[in-house]
Amino acid sequence: MSSNQAVNIYSAFGKKGLTQTLEAAKAHVKQLYLSDEIPWVIGYSGGKDSTAILQLIWYALIDLKAEGKCHKDVHVISTDTLVENPFVAMWVEKSLERMKETTAKQGLPIIPHRLTPAVKDRFWVNLIGKGYPAPRYKFRWCTDRLKISPSNTFINNLVDKRGEAILVLGTRKAESTARAASMDHYENIDTNTRKADGLTANGSLDRVWVYTPIADWTNDDVWIYLNSVPNPWNFPNQDLMGMYQGATEGGECPLVVVIAVLAVMSAPWCLKINP
């Protein structure tokens, strides 16, 4: 590439700019929210992507509240594995507390929930009590038991009561080619009868639709948004950048793996369970 050639870098804000793109996104959130009585569930980890989608929806609900149209609950679920990095666990816990305080003041139907694994699925119960080997790349039992199962249980219970649910996630196609392919698959699958509404089918939960409002955003787009728009529950978005310093790439439950390895090393009798 010659030095005078322009380098085109994609951004979701490139065509209309930040302000107009965000207004369009908020308008879609409002339209979808008002289209039916199906409750929403937002997956919140305290990270940048889940913070971004929660902000978008929060501001949309502020508008709807002013219009007298804020009529159904939005549940915010965050799973504490009970073996998280103490700093991360404290960050999420304080964030949920601030949400509860702010929604009470603003009168918004946003309901934060801190979920934990069932006793039988907890880390130390499985590692020491049941003799499971430490989680590793090809045997990440921690991901399903500690993170996914509590969320699925909450969502399924809600579906049993209300018939359906819309699960809002911060997944983005720019995360990886595999993620993009998976999102495209469930967007275009025959069972997705709500594609026109911007929803996708869910591959594992029955009667649950998936909404990904920042699906086409890049990593930089997320940071631009978080550093340009104030956090509506008065939590410091700028401090999120520090949360990502030194993070490892690719692995799920990296902190759990470290704790597990240390536990096995300190208890030689556990070594015999390793294949």
Mean pLDDT of 125-142: 48
Average pLDDT over residues 177-193: 91
pTM exceeding the 0.85 threshold for the entire prediction: no
On whether the CB atoms of residues 77 and 41 are closer than 8 A, the answer is: yes
Q: What is the mean pLDDT of residues 168-181?
A: 93
Q: What are the tens digits of pLDDT across the range 249-261?
A: 543 333 333 333 3
Q: How buried is residue 156: exposed, middle or buried, by Cβ count under 10 Å (0-12/13-18/19+)?
A: middle
Give the C-alpha separation, 120 to 249, whole Å: 29
Q: What's the pLDDT at 150?
A: 85
Taking only the tens place, the pLDDT of each residue in 22-81 is: 999 999 999 999 999 999 999 998 889 999 999 999 999 999 999 999 989 999 998 877
- Backbone torsions φ then ψ of 158, nearest 5 degrees: -65, -40
At residue 73, the pLDDT reads 95
| pLDDT higher at 149 or 82 | 149
Distance CA 10, CA 216 (A): 10
pLDDT at res. 275: 32
- C-alpha closest to that of 235 among 71, 82, 44, 29: 44
